[in-house]
Structure 1
Amino acid sequence: MPWHARSVEQTLEELGSGRDGLSTVEALRRLDEFGPNELRKEGDKSPLLIFLHQFKEFLMVLLLIATGISVIVGEFLDAAVIMFIVVVSAFLGFVQEFRASRALDALKRMSAPVASVVRDGEEQKVPAREVVPGDIVLLATGDRAPADGRLIEEYNLKVDQSAFTGESEAVEKDVREIPAETPLADMTNVVFAGTTVIYGRGVAVTFATGMRTEFGKIAHLVQAAEDEHTPLESRMGEIGRKLGLGSLAIVVLVVGLGLLRGEHLLAMFLWGLSLAVAAVPEALPAVVTGALTIGVQRMARRHAIIRKLPAVETLGSTTIICSDKTGTLTKNEMTVRRIWMGEQVISVTGVGYEPIGEFRLNDQSAVKDGGLALLSRIAVLCNDAHLLRDEKGRHHVVGDPTEGALLVMAAKAGHEPEPARIDYPRTGEIPFSSARKRMTTVHRTPADSVLVCMKGAPEVVLQHCTHYWLGGQALFLSDEVRRRILAENEDMASRALRVLGFAYRELPSPHLELTEENVERRLTFVALVGKVDPPREEARAALLRAEDAGIRSVMITGDHKLTAVAVARELGLLKEDDLTLTGTELDGLRDEEFIKQVGDIAVYARVSPEHKLRIVQTLQHTGHVAAMTGDGINDAPALRSAAIGVAMGITGTDVTKEAADMVLADDNFATIVAAVEEGRAIYDNVKKYLAYLLSSNVGEILIVLVAGLVGLPLPLLTTQILWVNLVTDGLPALALGIDPPDPDIMRRPPRPAGESVFTPGVTMLIGLVALLMAAGTLPVFVWKLQATGDVVEARTMAFTLLVMFEMFNAFNCRSEKHSIFAVGPFRNRWLLLAVVSSILLQMAVLYIPFLQDIFRVTALGPDDWLVLILVSSTALIGGEIGKRVLRSTLVPSPTGKNG
């Protein structure tokens, strides 16, 4: 039987405790048995292991083998250059993985530092990590629960569980046992580790500490949730593996043929090394990182902070956004929306805690008459919250959010709380409790009479009323009026409003004895007030834009189903044929049943952290690229498991931010859509520089391979290939990474998760330009070798021609299908600068003596440059012809143009 289903005495007996608490000796014994009350890292890896983990990638292994071969054959400069590339790549991967491993540290910061417990019959302060099962814990306003505990006493206790369950309203606690199947969010007799007392006092007996608490289960889920490989990471890894395996096969072929022809073993090692290095796109990781970094900078200017570089691109391929409700789609600021008073329904405008809005009756601005003044006075006086303004002029509430919403309502009506509290000082109160379901306060008026104010559940408040307010006077409350008030209460509740009733009574005697019988009778009912956590104004437009981009949005919340459905309908998120599901209903579904329904469900309500994780994992299992947004600690495991986790920067907890890939600095849901646009643009540009870099790699392989097969001297040395792949190719590739996006980019559906980056346009450019490079470079190499008999000069021509081919090809790659003249040859000024810089760097290698020695080249004359320019320009001419053929043979893609 779970602890919440047991009585207080059963719980104490089972835990071997009592109201006087444990003895010090027993507490020490249990601390030794159960361990410290703290979160621990599971399978934690040291920084050294994280760094070594980076070397398991296939391309890294290939480069390490190339380093070893360089050392064996005495090419120490080549070995040093390749090893430098390997270490830098490993360091970049280490930084990202090490940052991602810190999620648990934020959870630890949410744990209480000290706890008040009863031991040996006396109250003591002990470090929270020393709390053990069976400890009697004392809780007061402002305290954070150190562990999970069953309440044994409570005095008007209210707990803020919003970061834990996703429900924005404070939870009233009770000591009575509840059914065993009660959902986590409805366990009113349990306090959970990490939640905060905002009102009243309580006493609880601890039944779970450390990793056994619900808090600890979240920590386990955060650590156990696997980081999904992003689409870009997966595709780049696939490309690297294919190139590496292909290069190994070619190396074996060339070396084998050479040895059969009687070639020297050392010479064959050099050929194999050149082929291996030619096949590896060394600049690709740096260019991908550079392009994504530029995307990060753009997003930062739009209030999205990227914590993991691939997140930008992943958003571009997102097919579904799983959004928390509280604080993400809503303000997490309770707001009065509707008032029933004097037989009239008044709507209240404005959102959140800013006291800006008006009272409207029949779509007309309602007069702030005596009725509103009376209601405002009761709402302010029968209230323990405070409405404060920070240094930036923003309002916030200290105390219960529901009471804060009433203060904002009064301020909108022109009645500031503090002056009323000064004029009507409180002389007594009968506090709210879950049993009474009402709060009553007694005040002395300026006329030295007594004012009794009451608020609470409407049906309870009505039981204490004999009159109701109408037109400035108190009229007899007939049974018919009672029925109308209760019917209006039900109507408000059906709109997902949380309703309170308000009443008052004025008495002449200032010496009234404070008892329920004296003050809570013959009251005048004033109004019903309906409150809601309102949707964000900008969220609706953002959801529509996401829908235009072919992205589904789903609400996942710990709140009640009725509330969730109402908010979803107001936002336009819940369509006519969409389904809703609660956590209890989800528990009743087998995996295969859930997989069949998951595509039709738009709202999940009353869910736990485990439910959120199951939802996200199931969506991704069915082929979705899922983004999860959230702000509470309950969102952290699902954020970690989703293809991309998006945390709120203002309302989000540190735990959520650490687990997320991206943080929204302005908590604006619309920023996600801007990130989607940026991600799609980045992916388009990835294809551009992929075509650019791989055409160079394939061209180099063909040049070295054909030369080896026909018995020519090695046309390109390892250091020369590395220079082309890393430096002269790297700058134009980065410039292609910031090409302007297509105008229709947010009218395309998301890319299929398994879609290849090798579209017809990319494949055509790689193959065609690689063939032109080989067909141009090898004849020039042979011509120069025969003309001069100098292999160094011939290699210099081949080396520089390869660079010039790439410069012309950079302009080819600005579009897969469209002519460079159609997209504007000078539109990307960064590309022009990159091309000029690369040519100047190549000239430095050719004409600076110490660089000549490193790269084993010689200076070229004007006639040589004329040949280089004429031959390399065929890359641009060939690319234009190939695109023209492609345009005439391919049907336009339904996702819009690719170029």
Structure 2
Amino acid sequence: MAAREPRWHTLGSAGVLDALSTGERGLSATEAAARLERYGENRIAGDEGASVPAIVLRQFRSSLVLVLLVAAAISLAVGEGVDALAILLIVVLNAVLGTVQEWQAEQGMKALRRMLGLRAVVVRDGRETEVDAAVLVPGDIVRLESGQKVPADLVLIATTTLQVDEAPLTGESEPATKVEGALPGETPLAERENLAYMGTTVVNGRGTGAVVATGMATEFGWIAGLSRRVEEVKTPLTRRLDLLSRRVGEIALAVAVLVVLIGLLQRREVYELFLTGVSLAVAVIPEGLPAVVTLSLAVGVKALMRRHCLVRHLAASESLGSVTVICTDKTGTLTRNEMAVSMVALPGGERVAVEGRGYEPTGTFLVDGAAVMPGMVPGLQVFLRAGAVCSHASLTVDEDGRPGILGSPTEGALVVAAARAGIRREDLPAIEEEASFSSARKRMTVAVTEGEGRVAYMKGAPEVVLGHCTRVLTGGRVRPLDGVTRTALQDGLEEAAQGGLRVIATACRRMKPGEGLEEPAFIFLGYAGILDPPREEAPEALGLCRQAGIDVVMITGDAPATATAVARAVGLPGTGVVRGADIDAMDDDALLKTLRETKVLARVTAEHKLRVIDLFTREGAVVAMTGDGVNDAPALKKAHVGIAMGVKGTEAAREASDIVLVDDNFASIVAGVAEGRRETDNIAKFTRYLLSSNIGEVVAITGGLLAGLPLVLLPAQVLWVNLVTDGVTALALGVEPAEKDVMRRTPASPEAGVLPRRAAAGVALIGAAIGALVLTIFALALGAGEERARTLAFTGLVVFELVNLFNFKSLHAGVLETGLFSNPSLIAAAAASLLLQVAAVYAPPLQAAFRTVPLTGPDWLLLLLVGLPLLLLGEGYKWVVGRGEK
């Protein structure tokens, strides 16, 4: 039994109760228990978040980690147990770091989690009782009140001024008015006014409904299931590291084969061949890379948290820096998600601008740009009073002292505007009689006692309110509503609506004894333009996106006029608007062509969002998707980076996302992109640094083999350099500050890999130079003994790599431009690495482990002087390639 079955909204109250075998007395406790056994608990599968074992297993998905495990197995097989243990420790460290970070993110998610409806008031055995929403079953009769979350999918059997915020499900920014009764079978989901859906919120009135679907059978559950059916795409970093690991594996295999062939030709001993092979395998594979990547990403995650981005998966932080397209929601991301009166138009032609922040009850009224007292504008206070009286909304204050509203956002906007003029809702007369708003009536009329008589107030769609009026209030006097005035008012209303404003009109009249509530001859008081104001920082953030080569597309379920107005206000480029129906009518090629020019999509569904993201992805884009609703969840999962709203987002959206915005602000996404680009740059820096070092080791060892020399570097020495010396300095490169042009260049292609062709040439050149220097020093020092020569080669490798470290402070700028001391961590890491090497040369226990002998002061000075030209080589290469290769 599911709400997605098309028949529920067609049956009417009696038909639904009959189909569910229930009635107004509800189910019996026995029948409810039996149905709970049949249908299961009213829960959405997957809400519990990822378990610790699942998080741990995720850390071993990387191909590079698998290569390291193979290397450890080979080391163990040839008797190099210490090497195998060291590699395994690195793999475990990497897994622990990743697990801790993702577990912390899960805890953050739990702190943000808003449960859909923990309790529900249900009628069972003829009595109302409060139960855990998880035990609701089809056939239960549920009571709804303002402020409550709808706990299951319901067909409404009784309503009183019931309005429900369905934005999380349909994307509509305005609450839906709900009534009982049957509807035609073809009625779209967003227009089924006799149904209330799980996960939506009652913002006004009350109602009673019969449960027709629970758990995964609800509309919410169906979309959550759609999210799980969406195949996750690999992040750009994962793809780059997978490619690198394949290349490293291939090179390690090729080197091993080469070693065997050369060794056999030279008639070397089998044990020496194994020892050399292990040394080369250790030299080829950057053992420290996974741990350094993980630690670097963890540092980036902390930085993103300071920018209000909670990262759930480590790689997502770097992926944000590779984004080429951002598909953003409108409400709450580009806008504040706070409906506010921006303008009041009075029948005499006066236009009053209203300014204020959020739901603060203080603000400013302006006429022609000049601030005025509300009482100075004839008719303004009467209009504001009418909007506040004809309303069920009220102002609230949370525990932190922040103002808010309880009730319909539109009514709340009118109440706030009145409060800014000193008219408080609690000081106004109570409603005595009411004709509620409905989609058919499009107006709300109330009667209150004022003075010695009763007054009727009307609020609603301007054309409907105007149709009930025969008089207008202008200049503080009531006048007949003539044709000229009516035409002028209609023209103004049309202009306001085309500007994306939600327009609400008010009217009033003094009631005579015995008169009905909605007798004609109302007095037209004016109309208000209401909007969800754009965030002040949104235009600048969008400008940064354009500067950074990132395409921004607004995707919303809201009306085209509203979406267009917001796009214009925030400076979103492009022409026109594409509606959901337009998307259905286009093939993929036509839609993709349209998306290159049109950046506003309105009235879209979850399926439309998935299709758009799929098209961008197939074209090679790296897509970030923002969203807060249930209907956003599949697209959030499909995108390379799913970004959910943490404040006003649904649990389904947050569970499907990679990043949660703590402040729901688009500007935070752009700040996150800048941080992600810094991470992308730094991962490229230390990856290339590590590879250049490893190439140096391979060249030295292979060169010695070809020259018939003894083994230049022992496996333990190579592992020490890769894990201890290189690991510490590479991590320091991971916290290198962002370069000045980080948001002034186009994103790197996700297919480019960690090592593009020109960059590979530079890495190979520097690596070969390091290897040649190490081999030369070893060969020249052999006359003084093998151990001394190997100690010089071992120490020279460390010194040369520390000099080389400064080549990678930037991928294209010179070391003097970036500043030698711009990253204190790098200086500290280089000093620490040098001290560790000193210990390896002079500390007796380490001397025994690495078979080193003490060096003299001149030895160290010579190694430094020999290594300094490596800096000139790096600078020269950057200059030759134009200092623009990334």
TM-score relative to the length of structure 2: 0.91
Residues 398-442 of structure 1: CA deviation (Å, up to 9, x unaligned): 222111111221123233333x32xx4554444444444333333
Q: Please say if 1:864 is aligned against 2:859.
A: yes
AA in 1 matched with 2:194: N
- List aligned pairs for 1:429-828, cutoff 5 A: 429-445=434-450, 447-506=451-510, 517=516, 520-575=519-574, 578-759=575-756, 762-788=759-785, 791-828=786-823
Structure-1 residue corresponding to 2:166: 161
Any idea what SS the aligned residue of 1:768 has? Answer: helix
Deviates more, 1:262-271 or 1:153-162: 262-271
- CA shift, 1:363, in A, is 4.0
- Contact 1:106–1:654 at 8 Å: present in 2 too? no
In the alignment, residue 828 of structure 2 is paired with which amino acid? L
* Contact residue 62 and residue 241 of structure 2 kept, 8 A: no
The separation in 1 between residues aligned to 2:811 and 2:744, in whole angstroms, is 19
Aligned position for 2:42: 37
Matched letter for residue 482 of structure 2:
S
For 1:546 and 1:666, locate their aligned partners in 2 and report how far apart those are by CA, in whole Å. Answer: 19
In 2, Cα distance between equivalents of 1:821 and 1:471: 72
**2:238 is the alignment partner of 1:233:** yes
CA distance in 2, matches of 1:535, 1:37: 37
- 1:185-218 per-residue CA deviation (whole Å, 9 max, x = no partner) reads 3322211111122222223233322112111123
Identity %: 44
CA deviation map 1:594-647 (0-9, x unaligned): 344333331222222333233222221221111112233432332222111223
- Structure 1 residue 804 displacement after superposition: 0.8
1:570-593, CA deviations, whole angstroms, 9 ceiling, x for partnerless residues? 222253xx3422233333444454
How far apart are residue 879 of structure 1 and its match?
2.9
Q: Deviations over 1:633-665 (max 9, x none)?
A: 432332222111223343334443443333333
Q: Matches of 1:366 and 1:250 in 2, distance apart?
A: 82
Q: How does 1:104-503 map to 2 (within 5 A)?
A: 110-120=115-125, 122-259=127-264, 261-350=266-355, 351-366=357-372, 368=374, 369=376, 370-390=378-398, 393-418=401-426, 420-421=427-428, 424-445=429-450, 447-503=451-507
| Residue 44 of structure 1, CA deviation | 9.8
One-letter amino acid of the structure 2 residue matched with residue 339 of structure 1? V
2:568 aligned partner, one-letter code: R
Contact 1:764–1:882 under 8 Å retained in 2 = no
Displacement of 1:265 in angstroms is 3.1
- Going from structure 1 to structure 2, the CA distance change for 1:13 and 1:473 (only over 3 Å counts) comes to same
Q: Secondary structure at the match of 1:537?
A: coil
Which of residues 851, 855, 859 in structure 1 aligns to 2:850? 855
- Distance, in Å, in 2 between the alignment partners of 1:730 and 1:739 is 15
**Shift, 1:326, TM fit:** 0.9
Moved more, 869-878 or 614-623: 869-878
2: distance between equivalents of 1:883 and 1:459? Answer: 68
Deviation at 1:77, TM superposition (A): 2.1
User: Once the 2 structures are TM-superposed, how far is the Cα of residue 85 of structure 1 from its aligned partner?
Assistant: 1.0
CA distance in 1, matches of 2:75, 2:570: 63
Q: Distance in 1 between matches of 2:302 and 2:813?
A: 29
CA spacing shift, 1:748–1:56, aligned 2, 3 Å: closer
- The unaligned stretches of length 5 or more in structure 2 are none
Q: Distance in 1 between matches of 2:601 and 2:497?
A: 20
> 1:282, 1:103 → 2: CA distance?
31
- 1:683-706 Cα shifts (integer Å, max 9, x gaps): 233332222111111111122223
What is the rounded CA distance, in whole Å, between the counterparts of 2:104 and 2:301 in structure 1? 16
By how many angstroms is 1:554 displaced? 0.9
Check conservation: 1:444, 1:451, Cα contact below 8 A.
yes
What is the aligned residue count? 878
Letter of the 1:560 counterpart: A
Rounded Cα–Cα distance in structure 2 between residues aligned with 1:235 and 1:633: 32
String of CA shifts for 1:501-560, please: whole Å, max 9, x gaps: 2122345x8xx56xx616744432211222122222221221122112221111111212
> Whole-Å Cα distance in 2 between the matches of residues 200 and 496 of structure 1?
27
Tell me if structure 1 keeps the 8 A contact 2:774–2:793.
Answer: yes
Structure 1 residue 285, shift from structure 2 partner: 2.1
Is the alpha carbon distance of 1:767 and 1:374 closer, same or farther for their aligned partners in structure 2, counting shifts above 3 Å? same
Matched residues in 1 for 2:145 and 2:811: separation? 66
Contact 2:396 2:403 in 1 (8 A): yes
Query: Is the 1:337–1:530 Cα contact (8 Å) retained in structure 2?
Result: yes
Alpha-carbon distance in 2 for matches of 1:205, 1:106: 32
Shift of 1:335: 1.1
Whole-angstrom distance in 1 between the partners of 2:57 and 2:25 = 54
Distance, in Å, in 2 between the alignment partners of 1:97 and 1:301 is 17
Distance 1:30 1:538, change over 3 A: same
Structure 1: 5+ residue stretches without partners = none
Query: Which amino acid in structure 1 is aligned with residue 481 of structure 2?
Result: L
Contact 2:169 2:630 in 1 (8 A): yes
* Residue aligned with 1:547, SS: helix
Q: Distance in 1 between matches of 2:877 and 2:467?
A: 85
CA RMSD of aligned residues (A): 3.1
Q: Distance in 1 between matches of 2:687 and 2:66?
A: 21
Distance 1:667 1:353 in 2: 17
Which residue does the alignment assign to 1:80? 85
Q: Measure how far apart 1:115 and its partner are.
A: 3.2
Letter in 2 for 1:587: D
Which residue type is aligned with residue 722 of structure 2? Answer: N
C-alpha contact (below 8 Å) 1:291/1:738 kept by paired residues: yes
1:633/1:656 contact within 8 Å kept: yes
Distance in 2 of aligned mates of 1:604 and 1:563: 11
1:532–1:182 distance in 2 versus 1, CA, 3 Å: farther
Compared CA separation, residues 641 and 103, structure 1 to 2 (3 A): farther
Q: Distance in 2 between matches of 1:697 and 1:60?
A: 17
Instruction: Mark the CA change 1:587 to 1:108 in structure 2 (over 3 Å): closer, same or farther.
Output: farther
Relative distance call for 1:814 and 1:120 in structure 2 (3 A) is closer
In structure 2, distance between residues paired with 1:20 and 1:647: 41
Contact 2:353 2:367 in 1 (8 A): no
Structure 1 stretch 395-404 or stretch 870-879: which is displaced more?
Answer: 870-879
Separation in structure 1 between the aligned mates of residue 239 and residue 836 of structure 2, nearest angstrom: 33
| Alpha-carbon distance in 1 for matches of 2:334, 2:131 | 40
Partner-residue secondary structure (3-state), 2:732: helix
**TM-score, structure 1 length as denominator?**
0.90
> Take 1:239 and 1:21, find their aligned partners in 2: how far apart are those partners?
63
What residue number does 2:838 align with?
Answer: 843
